[in-house]
């Protein structure tokens, strides 16, 4: 798989892509690969905790959407030049504790991050799946 076939700043369902192929494509392109398997998450807090652990966020991460946005944009931007990102959020919950509204709010943070990085001419591709 070549990343050139995927729009550079997008958040989309993983669909036909395989995680292994996305990881290899990110490696081939010299980009960051961020992966969170959220199979055990049931609530918004569980999802945020799972992402924080998987992405190695700092211990002071606030476990809210604003803190997630800051970690995906400002903190990374301040650390220096970035080569691009391939993000995979696998097995987001689909239940009453993490309903459609909560999922959309979470994905909106990643859409905003894609826009943020796009403004800086850095590719940010986020793929997600539900269970």
* pLDDT of the residue at 92: 97
> Does residue 37 belong to any structural domain of this protein?
yes
Tally of domains within the chain: 1
> Does residue 23 belong to any structural domain of this protein?
yes
What is the rounded distance in angstroms from the CA atom of residue 118 to the CA atom of residue 34? 17
Structure tokens at 62: 């606030």
List pLDDT tens digits, range 65-115: 999 999 999 878 788 889 999 999 999 999 999 999 999 999 999 999 999
> Does residue 3 belong to any structural domain of this protein?
no
> Does residue 1 belong to any structural domain of this protein?
no
pLDDT band at 52 (very low <50, low <70, confident <90, very high): very high
* pLDDT of the residue at 78: 80
Q: Does this model's pTM top 0.75? A: yes
* pLDDT of the residue at 126: 98
Q: Give me the CATH number covering residue 114.
A: 3.30.370.10
User: Please, is 127 exposed, middle or buried when counting C-beta atoms within 10 Å of its C-beta (0-12, 13-18, 19+)?
Assistant: buried
> Does residue 4 belong to any structural domain of this protein?
no
> Does residue 6 belong to any structural domain of this protein?
no
* pLDDT of the residue at 98: 96
> Does residue 67 belong to any structural domain of this protein?
yes
Domain containing 91: what range?
11-130
């Amino acid at each position: 798989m070549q990343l050139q076939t995927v729009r550079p700043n997008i958040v989309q369902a993983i669909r036909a892509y395989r995680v292994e192929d996305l990881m290899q494509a990110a490696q081939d392109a010299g980009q960051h690969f961020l992966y969170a398997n959220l199979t055990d998450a049931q609530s918004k807090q569980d999802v945020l905790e799972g992402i924080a652990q998987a992405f190695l966020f700092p211990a002071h991460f606030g476990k809210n959407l604003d803190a997630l946005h800051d970690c995906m944009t400002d903190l990374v931007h301040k650390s220096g030049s970035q080569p691009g990102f391939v993000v995979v959020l696998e097995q987001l919950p689909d239940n009453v504790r993490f309903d459609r509204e909560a999922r959309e709010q979470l994905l909106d943070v990643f859409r905003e991050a894609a826009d943020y990085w796009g403004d800086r001419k850095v590719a940010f591709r986020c793929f997600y799946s539900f269970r």
